[in-house]
Amino acid sequence: MEPLTMKVMIVDDEALAVEDLESLIEWQDYNFHIIGTARNGRRAMELFRVHKPDLVITDVRMPIVNGLELAELIRSENELCRIIMITSYQDFEYAKQAIRYGVSSYLLKHEIDAQTLLDTILSVRLQWERLISSVSMVQEEYLRKLFIGKHTEAPHHLGTDWLKQLDSPLALFYLKQDTPYPLFPELISEFGIPLSQIFKYDQFDIEMSMKHLISVPLNDREIVLIYSITNTHQLWKVQQEQINLAKHLQKIMRQSSNETISIAGSVAASGKRELNTIFHRSHALFLKRWFNGREAYYTLEDNPDIELSPNTFFPEQLQEIQEERDLLVLQEKIPGYFDHIQKLNDPLSLQLLTSELLKKLDFHRNKYGMLPTKIANEDMVHQVLQIFHVDDIKQWFISQMNLLSQQIEKDGFSNLSRKTREAIQFIHKNYNADLSVESVSTSVSISVPYLHQLFKKELQQTFLEYVTSYRVNIAKKLLQENNLKIYEIAEKIGYRNSAYFSQVFYKVTGFTPQEYRKGG
């Protein structure tokens, strides 16, 4: 991260002394920027209130308002500003009184050279950066508490000026990284580059009447930006600037990372008192993001009646899905279910619908002896990570139902007897246990010889061949998709001895588990 530029003001009643300090080093080479100079303390305070320097270098002896008085005034208005006092030998003891005003360092007037000055300001800069980092963390935590409604007393060292700005009109931007719909939440956790690694918080300003005040990370994928509104008489202009800034931020995100963000913008006319309400209403808007797609921009002003408590999905349709046993009939009904969900515009209903459809999809896959949806094929992860809108979800389920129907027809599973399908279903549920032909035959209420006969006739495999093949297929997925140890994978698929598992795996695939993981 690039160092912050430190704004510097030099105060001395001797013009030559000011010029010497300005020319002694190349300030900008070390990320210092001289924003002004003053000949006395009164003029210095006028400039201080306008330019808000981070470092003030001041002489002790000056007319009107001396250096000690200036330090006291600065500290009463800004606890973060660093102060370096310039003094002579005879004034040094007097100047040390300023320590109670938080003077960071001293320079002896007749010993100042380029190296001494540079060493001093770099040392003070290090103090300042540590303080800024510490204060920023406290400010962020204070605001997080305000967001969730914990109105605690502000820590005294947050800065008077900063706290005053929080009581003035504010513009808020709630940034949320666009992530795929969480059909399988464990896949989403690895999606993309976290928002917190992409944005540089000191690059949010564009030409406008708002001033960036602070950025508050909520987690890796959500950030709240707060701006102070300098022109409170033209809020309509602020709202237009919010739209412009939102587009600017979305463009930065897209160009720098190929990631996208959605943004909820709002104005807190009464300052921090409104933060809790705005935060929760913005969060409620984001719950509906699957109905709007990527790179959406919401304004609370355009959504005054946003509900914080979602409706519930129609129970009769849920029951219909649960009871439907015919895959083709269910497939035909999917568009109607999603059309109804879009009319409801309700995220909880969408969640309930997708959950039931996933259960039904896996019910049919299991019924016909196929792997669960999540590990059905290698393209699944890629497909799921492309789902950002309710239409994408609908098309994915239609596609999965079509593929399943085709697979059933291709493999002839539709022609299996009921007892064979029940046996396969039992195997798929219990493959990680000590599975035996006796336990399976008992579960489906037929004899062991008859079960052997069914498998040989309908699947062209022995019972053991089918169980082994199914376990090895799951082992392949586990080897490809995670870092589990070989013995852990063996245990997960029903083998208590990892050496025996490796022998079985090699016999079926021609590779050891280690070779297969490396790309065999």
3-state helix/strand/coil string of 54-81: CEEEEECCCCCCCHHHHHHHHHHHCCCC
Asked if 193 and 96 sit in the same domain, the reply is: no
Q: Where are the alpha helices (DSSP H) in 169-294?
A: 185-188, 235-257, 275-286
What are 91's two structure tokens?
């004034």
- Locate all alpha helices (DSSP H) within 292-384, ordered by sequence: 315-323, 327-344, 347-367, 380-384
Q: Are residues 11 and 115 in the same domain?
A: yes
Q: Is residue 257 located within the same domain as residue 347?
A: no
Q: Are residues 199 and 295 in the same domain?
A: yes
Instruction: Report the C-alpha gap between 404 and 421 in whole angstroms.
Output: 15
- Residue 361 counted as domain residue: yes
Judgement on whether residues 429 and 410 belong to the same structural domain of the protein: no
Domain range for residue 371? 315-414
Count of CB atoms within 10 A of residue 169's CB? 20
Is 296 within 8 Å of 262 (Cβ atoms)?
yes
139 in a structural domain: no
CA distance 43 to 318: 74
Q: Is residue 157 part of a domain?
A: no
Per residue of the chain (520 residues), give pLDDT as tens: 566 789 999 999 999 999 999 999 999 999 999 999 999 999 999 999 999 899 999 998 888 888 888 988 998 888 789 999 888 766 666 656 766 667 888 888 888 999 999 999 999 999 898 888 788 888 888 899 889 888 777 766 676 778 888 888 899 999 999 999 998 887 777 677 777 777 665 455 556 678 878 888 888 889 999 988 877 666 777 888 888 889 988 988 888 888 899 999 998 888 888 999 999 889 888 988 999 999 999 988 777 666 544 455 567 888 888 888 777 788 889 999 999 999 888 888 899 999 999 999 888 877 676 777 765 566 777 888 899 999 999 999 999 888 888 877 666 666 778 888 889 889 988 999 889 999 999 999 999 999 999 999 888 789 999 999 889 988 988 888 778 899 999 999 999 999 999 999 999 888 999 998 887 5
Domain membership of residue 307 (yes or no) is: no
Query: What total of structural domains would you count in the chain?
Result: 4
- Give CA separation, 110 vs 62, 92, 346, in Å: 17, 12, 74
Domain membership of residue 510 (yes or no) is: yes
Distance CA 495, CA 471 (A): 9
Query: Where residue 476 sits, what CATH number does that domain have?
Result: 1.10.10.60
- The reply to whether 319 and 295 lie within a common domain is no
CA dist 415 and 426 (Å) reads 18
Among 71, 106, 131, identify where a domain stops: 131
Q: Does 319 lie in the same domain as 406?
A: yes
Task: Report residue 224: phi and psi, to 5°.
Answer: -110, 125
Question: How far apart (Å, rounded) are the C-alpha atoms in residues 183 and 387?
Answer: 9
Same domain, 225 and 341: no
Identify the pLDDT of residue 344. Answer: 86
pLDDT of res. 308: 46
DSSP-assigned beta bridge partners for residue 87? 108
CA distance 364 to 353: 17
Tell me, yes or no, whether 249 lies in a domain: yes
Domain at 233, CATH number: 3.30.70.270
Query: What's the CA gap between 30 and 8, in Å, rounded?
Result: 12
Domain-embedded: residue 152? no
Which of 302, 324, 344 terminates a domain? The answer is 302
Residue 296 included in any domain = yes
The tokens of 359 are what?
Answer: 């259960």
Q: Which of 104, 131, 158 is the last residue of a domain?
A: 131
Q: Are residues 107 and 197 in the same domain?
A: no
What is the C-alpha to C-alpha distance for residues 98 and 116, in angstroms, rounded to an integer?
A: 21
Residues 248 and 326 in one domain: no
CATH of residue 96 = 3.40.50.2300
Short-list 481, 482, 477, 484, CA closest to 505: 477
My answer on whether 367 and 468 are in the same domain is no
User: Exposure of 163 by Cβ count < 10 A (0-12 exposed, 13-18 middle, 19+ buried)?
Assistant: middle
> Are 215 and 227 contained in the same domain?
yes
* Residue 91 CA from chain centroid, whole number: 55
- Take residue 248 and report the two structure tokens written for it: 């600017």
Residue partners of 419: CB distance under 8 A and separation at least 6: 444, 446, 451, 454
One-letter amino acid for residue 476 of the chain: K
